[in-house]
A = this chain, B = another copy of it.
Amino acid sequence: MPDIKDVANAAGVSTATVSRVLAGSTRVKEETRLRVLSAIEQLNYRPNLVARSLRSQKSARIGLVVSDIRNPFFTSISRAVEDAAYEQGYSVLLCNTDENPEKEELYLKVLHDESVAGVIFSPTQQFSARLSSFESQIPIVVIDRAVNASSIDMVLLDNAAAGYELTVHLLQNGYRKLAGLFGNASTTGRERNRGFRQALEEHQLRPWSEQFIPPRIQQGYETTLALLDQPDRPDAIFTSNSLLTAGAFQAIRDRRLKVPDDVALVGFDETTWGALVEPPITLIAQPTEEIGRTATELLFQRIADPSRSPRTVILKGKLIARGSSAPRPSFSA
């Protein structure tokens, strides 16, 4: 591999000049610039980013830290982040934490050691507290989950509003015995629960059941089975993320109940399967593309100006009403 010295020799200039050409400095005579450029071409020279990084104390890498890339929400986010990052010449390091605070701490340290320019992070609730100690060392943009460090950039859904809207939708369609399954790893479940409760209160109703459980298909499945096996089962199930939705759907099917006649089902996040199952699932679609892109842009802004005052961008979810919550027969007339 040729290095900058080889280029300098070939072009008959110093390494400083080559570096200036590389940086697009204007203080280089056009003629020399071309000479350098052609030497670069000739030798097929590519600057060593590690060396550049060490000297300039900067890097063109960012970290993306999520609980599990297999969660369709994060899959989609990750794609958006990468697209936005690569447009700016940045690469993306991916980390899965499994909602485990120790892994979160570990990966944040690793990313710091790798000198990433910044991190896009979806932290557990437990980790939120420790966040500020990292935030002073690396620019961080938090996504999906609110943290109460006021100094941090965030991109969030209006979760309470979304939970409210989804619940109102159920109520308007005639469902009354609403059970809610909420993820317990983040504030997101809690916020969606707030909207859920508020909507119920406004209708002078109480939740049929409320459960805060690990956001996993298996948990959604088991919890729903238990709900359905109760003597007086709910007539609608509200799930706060797509993994719980999948588990609930499976449980309902295994109990040979009909959606929505026996029990309605609503959830969050558009997935491939949400529209394919019978009946298709009513849900709040999050603008994942926009979330990922916005988070990346916010991060770049903070990298460029660390003293900039922190922003919180709140995006709206979109209710997609489908068969799984169709109006109850008695209501539809």
Q: Does A173 contact B (CB under 8 A)?
A: no
- Whether the Cβ atoms of A50 and B46 lie closer than 8 Å is no
- Assuming the A-B contacts A115-B50, A246-B272, A271-B273, are A69 and B61 also in contact, with contact meaning beta carbons closer than 8 angstroms in the complex? no
Residue numbers in B under 8 Å from A115 (CB-CB): 48-50
Q: Does A301 contact B (CB under 8 A)?
A: no
Q: Does A142 contact B (CB under 8 A)?
A: no
Residue numbers in B under 8 Å from A246 (CB-CB): 272, 276
- Whether the Cβ atoms of A49 and B273 lie closer than 8 Å is no
Q: Does A28 contact B (CB under 8 A)?
A: no
- Whether the Cβ atoms of A70 and B76 lie closer than 8 Å is yes
Which of A68, A96, A109, A111 gathers the greatest number of chain B CB atoms within 10 Å? Answer: A96
Residue numbers in B under 8 Å from A111 (CB-CB): 91
A9-17, A77-85, A149-157, A325-333 - interface stretch: A77-85
Residue numbers in B under 8 Å from A271 (CB-CB): 272-273
Q: Does A226 contact B (CB under 8 A)?
A: no
Shortest C-beta distance, A138 to chain B (Å), equals 11
Contact sample, A vs B, 22 pairs, CB 8 Å cutoff: A46-B112, A46-B113, A48-B113, A48-B115, A50-B54, A50-B59, A50-B114, A61-B93, A69-B75, A69-B79, A70-B75, A70-B79, A75-B75, A91-B93, A91-B111, A217-B272, A246-B276, A250-B276, A253-B276, A273-B276, A277-B277, A278-B278
